[in-house]
Amino acid sequence: AAMASPNVVSFSEKTFQQDVLGAAKPVLVDFWAEWCGPCKMIAPIIDELADEYQGRAVIGKVDVDSNQGLAVEYGITAIPTLLFFKGGAEVGERMSGEEIKRTAIKAQVEAMLSNHRSNASAMRRTGPACRRASSPCSMASGSYQTLESMGSNVKLTNIEISTAATMVRPNS
């Protein structure tokens, strides 16, 4: 197995505030766990992107087993789930399970980088509209708003998302 990239940061409850919310650069956070098969499958993509964006964006992981407080705080119902942060706020769209594709992740990181200097176009997450849990998969569906301000015009688009991924294992 290939070694994990040294550019992938490990975030914890102690460091999240400073390293993610307080970061000067855009941050991608991968919520994962050691026992989660799909998490292992996307690990090489995360490593690759961490190398590619070194110095421009921060790419890291949160182990949900040792940081359950963060998983609860951010409403992580399934893993792997990727969250994107910029300027202390969650932006863009979360990605879970099957949606996690290299090209999709790159597109969101590039969007964060291109908006980095100006906030003319900001993507704000409005949060999950509802949560349905069914075994063995957990379904999370959220409604996201993309805010695009063009001069004085503000354009609002609602994008419905429905994801299926590995259910976060309850505390045993």
**Cα(87)–Cα(26) distance, rounded to whole angstroms?**
7
To the nearest 10°, report the CA torsion of 21, 23, 25, 27: -40
H or E element that contains 113: helix 102-114
Q: What residues in the chain have per-residue pLDDT under 50?
A: 1, 118-167, 170-172
**Cα(58)–Cα(50) distance, rounded to whole angstroms?**
7
**Cα(132)–Cα(10) distance, rounded to whole angstroms?**
30
The Cα-based distances of 105 to 14, 72, 152, 159 in angstroms read 26, 23, 30, 17
Position 22 scores a pLDDT of 96
Q: 73 φ, ψ to 5°? A: -55, -40
Q: 75 φ, ψ to 5°? A: 60, 40
Position 90 scores a pLDDT of 96
Position 5 scores a pLDDT of 87
Position 116 scores a pLDDT of 57
pTM above 0.85, yes or no: no
Return the active site residues: 36, 39
Position 105 scores a pLDDT of 95
Q: Would you say 64 and 75 are in contact if contact means Cβ atoms under 8 Å apart? A: no
Strand partners, 147: 122, 156
To the nearest 10°, report the CA torsion of 127, 142, 170, 166: -140
Other C-beta atoms lying within 10 Å of the C-beta of residue 75: 13
